[in-house]
């Protein structure tokens, strides 16, 4: 990547440009795009930013917005000088990164322990089903935490800012992928679970998944990149790359897009297929993995910009957010067709969403969002509750915009909603919890950051509720800057009271948490 300064932009030295480019990758590209064309976040190309001016941009970067833009300066993440640096940087022409080939991937691949040398049976006494894979964002690590004892099993080196952890169908292998496109394969059968293979699949990434259809368990892995805009299919146990597919092409509006980043990837339970979201084009790739040499792909037109999503409770219908369109797309994975496009609140951001039985409307799936306080409840039972299917049957009011994740569990009566990116510290440090049995009641607001009892002045943003295997505990990350103390807070789901606080100097910027059993079986 190289500097290509816009003549109308504020001056920057090469050293300033290089520093800002790294910060942009680490903090901004995930929402605004490598080429700054926007998606979940607004476009930041010079034709827009130069007219806004440095002072306006500095204010927006410093204070954020209720629609989900983090308040980088007032939260303590950036100082005044860094805010000024980034305001000047986004007025320059965006540098174009290089491509990344199958050969580049293979050169980066490392197989630390050959398949033949790996355990033939589980060698540890851990309850693997209740292990949590916890992202340590700025450390470039994950923490494996024993959900029964709350003790750290191992801290494992991974890519920077791991976005998701996914389990193989058997539950043995854990796949984690960093924003820097480094993919690690961890064997949970080892005496002390650790890396057995890794590969770099590009320059920026966010998604990984493995084959789950009967007869194909653990055989194929897939990972998608933000840059280059493509996805790669690999051998599930060695990460040897086999096939690259570009996502560049026409949008659902019939316009060419050079950077359709790969967002959510899920593995179908109905067919030997992966579902791959091409964010900017609004298209969903249905990838048949039975023949990697002669790959068969069907494309569905959904809406822009596709982001995260998960299955309904039957694991037949894939519910996925189209951020810019304020819609949820519903894919019938049994029939391989788009079942519905549903209008919801502003900038939906469900994570995997939340499935439960509404006392009035039957089986439903829920999403919160970045853009407003609304929580949309969608009917998901076209057979038993046909008139409610693929409609918003309720809209709940949460604390505000900036929500990243919503979560419940089949054994719970609670629906938990975070507001991680809300600029109001009182809101970002707490969560709202609704009673599923009576959704007319206002939510209870719980100050999770206060439970953590952190002594410094960090941001203490609360992010991603995640249940344990039994469904009687909810884990939250209290996320502060890398030079501040963070923690994991475990809440008793029945009493809604803080149960345990996990603190350790090794828990640097914990964010996403993934329970092995729930992730393996798509329980959410």
The residues carrying an active-site annotation are 28, 31-32, 69, 307, 349
Residue 390: name the closest of 353, 341, 350, 354 by CA. 341
- Are the beta carbons of 334 and 317 closer than 8 angstroms? no
Enumerate residues 6+ apart whose C-beta is below 8 A from 334. 270, 271, 316
Enumerate residues 6+ apart whose C-beta is below 8 A from 232. 102, 105, 201, 222, 223, 224, 225, 241, 242, 243, 244, 245
List C-alpha distances in Å: 442 to 133, 184, 214, 262, 496. 32, 42, 43, 37, 15
Residue 464: name the closest of 475, 473, 454, 453 by CA. 475
Looking at residue 296, the DSSP 8-state letter turns out to be E
H-state helical runs in 342-490: 425-428, 448-452
Enumerate residues 6+ apart whose C-beta is below 8 A from 118. 187, 189, 190, 196
Q: How far apart are CA 488 and CA 510, in angstroms?
A: 8
What's the N-to-C CA distance of the chain in angstroms?
40
> Among all chains, which residue has been given the structure tokens 């439970």?
451
Q: How far apart are CA 198 and CA 175, in angstroms?
A: 9
Cβ neighbours, 10 Å, residue 482: 13
């Amino acid at each position: 990547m190289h500097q290509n300064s816009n003549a109308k932009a504020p001056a920057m030295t090469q050293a300033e440009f290089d520093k800002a480019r790294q910060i942009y990758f680490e903090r901004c590209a995930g929402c605004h795009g490598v080429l700054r064309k926007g998606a979940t976040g607004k476009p930041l190309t010079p034709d827009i930013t130069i007219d806004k001016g440095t002072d306006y941009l500095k204010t927006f970067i410093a204070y954020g917005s209720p629609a989900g833009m983090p308040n980088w300066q007032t939260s303590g993440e950036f100082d005044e000088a860094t805010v000024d640096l980034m305001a000047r940087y986004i007025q320059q022409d965006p540098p174009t990164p290089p491509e990344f080939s199958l050969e580049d991937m293979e050169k980066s691949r490392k197989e630390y322990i050959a398949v033949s040398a790996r355990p033939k049976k589980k060698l540890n006494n851990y309850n693997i089903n209740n292990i949590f894979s916890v992202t340590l964002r700025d450390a470039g690590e994950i923490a494996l935490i024993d959900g029964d004892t709350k003790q750290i099993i191992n801290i494992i080196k991974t890519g920077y800012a791991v976005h998701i952890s996914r389990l193989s169908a058997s539950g043995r292998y854990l796949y984690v992928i960093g924003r820097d496109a480094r993919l690690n394969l961890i064997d949970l059968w080892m005496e002390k679970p650790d890396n057995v293979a890794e590969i770099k699949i590009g320059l920026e990434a966010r998604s990984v998944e493995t084959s789950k259809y009967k007869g194909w368990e653990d055989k194929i892995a897939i990972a998608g990149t933000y840059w280059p805009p493509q996805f790669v299919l690999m051998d599930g146990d060695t990460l040897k790359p086999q096939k690259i597919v570009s996502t560049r092409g026409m949008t659902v509006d019939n316009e060419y897009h050079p950077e359709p980043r790969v967002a959510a990837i899920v593995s179908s339970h109905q067919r030997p297929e992966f579902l791959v979201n091409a964010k900017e084009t609004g298209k969903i790739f249905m990838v048949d993995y039975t023949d990697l040499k002669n790959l068969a792909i069907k494309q569905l037109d959904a809406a822009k910009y596709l982001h995260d999503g998960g299955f309904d409770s039957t694991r037949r219908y894939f519910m996925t957010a189209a951020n810019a369109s304020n819609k949820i797309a519903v894919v019938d994975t049994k029939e391989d067709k788009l079942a519905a496009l549903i209008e919801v609140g502003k900038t939906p951001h469900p994570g995997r969403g939340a499935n439960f039985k509404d006392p009035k409307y039957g089986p439903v799936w829920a999403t919160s969002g970045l853009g407003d306080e609304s929580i949309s409840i969608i009917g998901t039972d076209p057979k038993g509750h046909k008139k409610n299917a693929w409609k918003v049957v309720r809209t709940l009011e949460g604390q505000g915009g900036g929500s990243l994740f919503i979560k419940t569990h089949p054994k719970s009566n609670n629906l938990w909603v975070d507001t991680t990116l809300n600029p109001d510290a009182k809101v970002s440090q707490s969560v709202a919890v609704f009673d599923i049995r009576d959704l007319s009641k206002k939510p209870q607001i719980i100050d999770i950051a206060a439970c953590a009892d952190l002594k410094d002045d960090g941001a203490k943003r609360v992010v991603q509720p995640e249940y344990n295997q039994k469904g009687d505990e909810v884990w939250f990350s209290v996320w502060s800057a890398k030079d501040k103390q963070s923690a994991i807070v475990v809440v008793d789901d029945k009493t809604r009271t803080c149960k345990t606080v996990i603190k350790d100097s090794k828990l640097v910027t914990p964010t996403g948490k993934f329970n092995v059993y729930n992730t393996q079986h798509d329980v959410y």
